[in-house]
Structure 1
Amino acid sequence: MRKGGVIFDFNGTLFWDSEYQEKSWDEYLAAHHIFLTEQQKRDYIHGRNGKDTLEILFKRPFSDEEVHQYSEEKEVLYRNECLKHKMELAPGALDLLDYLRANDVPMAIATASGKSNVDFFIDQFNLLDYFAEEHIVYNDGTVKGKPHPDLFDRAVERLGVGKTGSVIFEDSHSGVQAALNCQVGHVVIVNSTNSDYADFDLPIITHFDGFDRRLLKN
């Protein structure tokens, strides 16, 4: 077993899409007459899986069928918003991905996004050039959402690596907490929105060139 690998959250980490997410969420919430503060958005939406978010917003249990229906309504708005813009991976991300691939460092994505968005990202960014499909872990309804570590645990398991030498990149507060709960060797915050991470004593980068690659020496 290799000592460790690299696991990326996607939205807000590998793909800086917070503006598109905000616009689509605002449109979606207004259509349902739900109005949230910025703090509530951070707590209830960002980094969480669809079922958790919907049950908080609508204050009732959701069936799997309802989760798919309500989530897809919002994600159509989101994907349409993305397509209005030039879609690129985060600054420095491609250079790091090329480095990881060239050095045979196992890497995975662990995202709270559902399958329809993951398929969209795979197509838009040619993600399979870097990630094996089974190493793109997403919200399939069978794992607890962040801040629970389940998505990251599954990514570590699929990579077949140890936790102590692994690195997780995250941006959302719930995602950072999930990464800490996974108990990997290193958690790196990607600050794509000029957010306040004073609650965490962790390295923060605003460009993937700022990542200390010496942490990858296994």
Structure 2
Amino acid sequence: MKTQGIIFDFNGTMFYDGKIQEESWKTFLYKKIGREITNEEFHKYVHGCHAEVSFSYFLKNRLSKEEIDQLAEEKEVVYRKLCLSDKQQYRLADGLVEFLDYLKKQQIPFTIATASGLNNLKFFFENLDLGKWVNMEQVVYDNGLIPSKPEPDIYLKAAQNIGVSPSDCIVFEDAMSGIEAANRAGVSKIIGVASSLSKEQLRQIPDISMVIEDYRDVKNLINFIE
């Protein structure tokens, strides 16, 4: 049997921060552009996308890497404050700890592929105790060099980092851009996590092999990946 690898998107997949993300983006962008962004804009130009994609669309300007990095960090300061102010929402998805414990015990290689930048990644590792399960050096994040989802690069790199062929990897995703990226990377299966999209919406996507609300049904998840 071939080695199966697991790759998790993070925001909206391991950590359900949709409301916090939306509030932080809308608060920050309202100050910058003087209008509220729509839900459609949020899903198309924010959720799962790199900062360059988001700011290029909303600010309608050609920005330097330095300007993008500065804007992104300003926005993430707002986001991190909101995370820490809402302890009820700022936690890993239900059942995920048990599932990660199982993957680690069975020595199934897994990592994270996220559109978050390094400062947020460090913030998550420090406050959500991710180091218990995940090697931070294997995580793929927005370092300004890897193309944003829906380009497949982030999943190709994540598979390489855990030493597994993309075709033998199962990806957990919640966003359309991430699902497209995983599909283009040629992964074995995509499990849709119903946080930003509903279960019904995810089931209509041909590339989705399974749909979950959270990780509480660990037994069913284990049967699926095995």
TM range (shorter): over 0.9
The Cα shift of 1:213 comes to 1.7
Identity across the alignment (%): 35
118-127 or 205-214, which moves further after superposition?
205-214
The Cα shift of 1:198 comes to 5.4
Separation in structure 2 between the aligned mates of residue 74 and residue 116 of structure 1, nearest angstrom? 12
Q: Give SS of 1:197's match.
A: helix
Return the match for 1:212 from 192, 214, 221: 221
**What root-mean-square deviation, in Å, do the aligned CA atoms of Structure 1 and Structure 2 show?**
1.6
The Cα shift of 1:194 comes to 5.2
The alignment status of 1:23 with 2:23, answered yes or no, reads yes
Separation in structure 1 between the aligned mates of residue 142 and residue 190 of structure 2, nearest angstrom? 21
| Superposed CA offset, 1:169-204 (max 9, x none) | 011111111111111101001002453335513221
Task: Structure 2: state its 5+ residue gaps.
Answer: none
The alignment status of 1:65 with 2:66, answered yes or no, reads yes
The Cα shift of 1:165 comes to 2.3
The alignment status of 1:175 with 2:184, answered yes or no, reads no
Structure 1 segments (4+ residues) deviating >2 Å: 193-199, 209-212, 214-217
Q: Give SS of 1:111's match.
A: strand
The Cα shift of 1:50 comes to 0.7
Separation in structure 2 between the aligned mates of residue 207 and residue 161 of structure 1, nearest angstrom? 25
Separation in structure 1 between the aligned mates of residue 167 and residue 117 of structure 2, nearest angstrom? 28
The Cα shift of 1:151 comes to 0.9
Return the match for 1:154 from 157, 169, 194: 157
Q: Give SS of 1:19's match.
A: helix
Matched positions, count: 217
Between the two structures, name the one with larger relative contact order (CA 8 Å, sep ≥ 6).
1
- Kindly indicate whether the alpha-carbon contact (under 8 Å) linking 2:174 and 2:197 is maintained by their aligned counterparts in 1: no
Q: Give SS of 2:115's match.
A: coil
Give the structure-2-normalised TM-score: 0.91
2:96 corresponding residue in structure 1: 93
Return the match for 2:129 from 126, 130, 154: 126
- Kindly indicate whether the alpha-carbon contact (under 8 Å) linking 1:165 and 1:216 is maintained by their aligned counterparts in 2: no
Q: Which amino acid aligns with 2:54?
A: T
Separation in structure 2 between the aligned mates of residue 164 and residue 198 of structure 1, nearest angstrom? 22
1:200 corresponding residue in structure 2: 205
Q: How does 1:98-117 map to 2 (within 5 A)?
A: 98-117=101-120
Distance 1:128 1:91, change over 3 A: same
Q: Which amino acid aligns with 1:216?
A: I
Q: Which amino acid aligns with 1:74?
A: K
Q: Which amino acid aligns with 2:93?
A: A
Distance 1:124 1:4, change over 3 A: same
Separation in structure 2 between the aligned mates of residue 183 and residue 141 of structure 1, nearest angstrom? 23
The alignment status of 1:135 with 2:138, answered yes or no, reads yes
The alignment status of 1:80 with 2:89, answered yes or no, reads no
- Kindly indicate whether the alpha-carbon contact (under 8 Å) linking 1:3 and 1:164 is maintained by their aligned counterparts in 2: no
Q: Which amino acid aligns with 2:121?
A: V
Give the structure-1-normalised TM-score: 0.94
Separation in structure 2 between the aligned mates of residue 155 and residue 177 of structure 1, nearest angstrom? 16
Distance 1:140 1:27, change over 3 A: same
Task: Structure 1: state its 5+ residue gaps.
Answer: none
- Kindly indicate whether the alpha-carbon contact (under 8 Å) linking 1:8 and 1:110 is maintained by their aligned counterparts in 2: yes
157-166 or 39-48, which moves further after superposition?
157-166
